[in-house]
């Protein structure tokens, strides 16, 4: 068996935990790139990337061009297939499980065959993460999701995140989380995402943290506080979550704040004010020479002006209720002296969320180039220039992570791994 298939190996001092990663929903490799930039010996043993309904798996192919493919414990390649069809026991062992997954409906019900089993909705990717955790028991996990995860769904605030916490608690994990605005920590984009760090309670780190107060963990002693220091912390609120996942799905609701900690079902959460580091401004990532195709034509300018402007639109619901939809103006063009806004998968299409900048060379209004989109996320220039069309390059970047945030967390995890024996 390869050393990369073990979570620990023997040395003269005893067992040393290996720096091995399994990357689910890998996209074009943001997690992997973030850890490899540490140059600290992290090795990805397996990854999975599959885009449902796509004829060509552009993101998977991009990942493979940069890093190569990965075979499973059966010496087979399944990285570009639906993860739900994968035998989770065949995934190589790993110390760290990572993945960015979407905010979906996490509600569950008892299976028809057994009142003790649970069944989530088909296609909800969290259950693939949960199944991988059950099969491989990784000591550590880092996950990324949108910031609204903590408040969804609207009719039962906090239920979805509660289901995730209950699943992790049931498998013997404690959890920290933080909503992070990447621009506050030196990035080029005002992208708010929820990062989740889970660790097995039987690790040295888990035993150590069990003796530290929740207040200290959230404020300055925990994983997230070290990766993303804060200025101050509000009042902590607490609750307890049960072990019956179906009951949590049916009845749990809680006001999760932007930071928090869960250990053995007891939840602590507080609103925190992030530390402010000097961000990269939009002007610093712009290219000086771009192709004419990125410029906005005079014919399309009225459409852009309308989309970016304030508007009040009369609307009617399905049951006949009439109301007015209102939205304020958005900067047009986007200012050079601020970080970019959150980039979506629709970047470059004619819509309100697409960035429009004044070109530094000509002063004309234009879209961001694919390279500038990569810079917003902290990737290397031309990272997605692997044969995919421009539209897919933007799409992949809109789905991606802000890579420097992963490197920050990896740096803290390095210190934790060093103490595991």
Active-site positions read 103
Check the CA dihedral 327-332-336-337 and report its sign.
Answer: negative
How many Å apart are CA 360 and CA 235, to the nearest integer?
46
Cα torsion 346, 348, 349, 350 to 10°: value is: 120
Distance, C-alpha 414 to centroid of its chain: 20
Q: Is 238 helix (H, G, I), strand (E, B) or coil?
A: strand
How many Å apart are CA 368 and CA 30, to the nearest integer?
20
From start to end of 139-234, where are the E strands? 140-146, 173-181, 192-200, 230-233
| All residues at 6 or more sequence positions from 276 whose CB lies less than 8 Å from its CB, including other chains | 184, 231
Q: How many CB atoms lie within 10 A of CB 85?
A: 8
User: Do 268 and 236 touch, CB atoms closer than 8 A?
Assistant: yes
Phi-psi region of 363 (alpha: psi -120 to 50; beta: other; left: phi over 0): left
Q: How many CB atoms lie within 10 A of CB 349?
A: 13
State the DSSP H helix or E strand holding residue 404, giving kind and residue range, or none if neither.
Answer: helix 403-418
Torsions phi, psi for 170 (to 5 deg)? -60, -30
């Amino acid at each position: 068996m390869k050393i990369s298939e073990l979570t620990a190996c023997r040395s003269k001092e005893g067992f040393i935990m290996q720096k091995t990663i399994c990357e689910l929903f890998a996209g074009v490799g943001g997690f992997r790139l973030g850890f490899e930039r540490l140059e600290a010996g992290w090795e990805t043993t397996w990854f999975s990337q599959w885009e449902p309904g796509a004829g060509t798996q552009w993101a998977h192919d991009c990942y493979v061009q940069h890093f190569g493919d990965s075979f499973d414990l059966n010496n087979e390649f399944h990285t570009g297939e639906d993860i739900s069809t994968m035998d989770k026991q065949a995934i190589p062992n790993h110390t760290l499980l990572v993945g960015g997954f979407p905010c979906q409906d996490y509600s569950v019900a008892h299976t028809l065959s057994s009142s003790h089993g649970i069944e989530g909705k088909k296609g909800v990717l969290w259950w693939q993460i949960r199944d991988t955790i059950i099969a491989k028991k990784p000591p550590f996990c880092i996950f990324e999701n949108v910031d609204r995860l903590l408040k969804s769904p609207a009719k039962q605030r906090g239920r979805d995140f509660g289901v995730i916490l209950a699943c992790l608690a049931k498998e013997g994990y404690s959890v920290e989380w933080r909503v992070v605005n990447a621009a506050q920590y030196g990035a080029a984009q005002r992208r708010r995402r929820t990062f989740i760090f889970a660790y097995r309670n039987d690790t040295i780190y888990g035993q150590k943290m069990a003796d530290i107060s929740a207040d200290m963990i959230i404020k300055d002693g925990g994983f997230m506080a070290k990766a993303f220091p804060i200025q101050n912390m509000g009042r902590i609120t607490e609750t307890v979550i049960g072990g019956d996942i179906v009951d949590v799905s049916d009845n749990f609701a809680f006001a999760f704040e932007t930071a928090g900690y869960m250990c053995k079902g007891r939840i602590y959460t507080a609103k925190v004010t992030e530390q402010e580091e000097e961000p990269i401004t939009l002007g610093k990532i712009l290219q000086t020479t771009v192709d004419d195709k990125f410029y906005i034509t005079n014919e399309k300018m009225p459409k852009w002006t309308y989309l970016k402007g304030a508007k009040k639109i009369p609307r009617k619901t399905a049951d006949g209720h009439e109301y007015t939809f209102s939205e304020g103006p958005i900067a047009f063009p986007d200012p050079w002296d601020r970080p970019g806004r959150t980039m979506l998968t629709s970047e470059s299409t004619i819509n309100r969320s697409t960035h429009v900048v004044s070109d530094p060379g000509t002063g004309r209004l234009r879209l961001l180039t694919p390279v500038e989109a990569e810079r917003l996320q902290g990737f290397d220039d031309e990272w997605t220039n692997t044969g995919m069309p421009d539209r897919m390059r933007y799409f992949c970047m809109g789905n991606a992570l802000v890579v420097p945030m992963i490197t920050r967390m990896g740096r803290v995890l390095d210190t934790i791994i060093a103490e595991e024996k």
